[in-house]
Amino acid sequence: MNERIRSTAFDNIPALFPDFARGQTGALNGPVSNPYAAIVGNYTLNNESISVSYRCYNPLTRATLSCALCSGGVSDPVELNIAVSWKEKSGRPYSMNIATYKTR
């Protein structure tokens, strides 16, 4: 997922990776045109879910905030957070988060 996000053109990120934090359509497990399972080779874990959320950076204040609060949607640079959660066979929940920055 991280590699695919980093190789995506900056302007295409909102359409291909909707912001889960804003509750955008297709934010959980990807939009119909870009399902996240296909990106990871159609490998899935038990009860797996993948989401991508953004944190926008304000260079004037050096603060990060939800992109819902940024005018225009996505700032440059933008911090992208990928969250994966699943359950093992016994039902124990697991989760993993990874973050990356993307700029034009």
> Is residue 5 predicted with pLDDT exceeding 60?
yes
Instruction: List the beta strands (DSSP E) in the chain.
Output: 49-58, 63-66, 78-87, 93-102
pTM, entire model:
0.74
Structure confidence at residue 95 (pLDDT) = 94
φ and ψ at 76, to 5 degrees? -130, 110
User: Residue 66 has what pLDDT?
Assistant: 61
Residue that has been written with the tokens 């959660």 in this structure: 85
Residue 94 has pLDDT above 90, yes or no: yes
pLDDT at 52: 87
pLDDT of residue 86: 93
Please tell me the predicted confidence (pLDDT) of residue 72.
52
Q: pLDDT tens digit string along 32-87?
A: 777 888 888 888 888 888 888 877 766 666 666 666 555 555 677 788 889 999 99
What is the CA 54 to chain-centroid distance, rounded?
Answer: 7
Going by C-alpha positions, the residue among 77, 37, 32 that lies closest to residue 54 is: 77
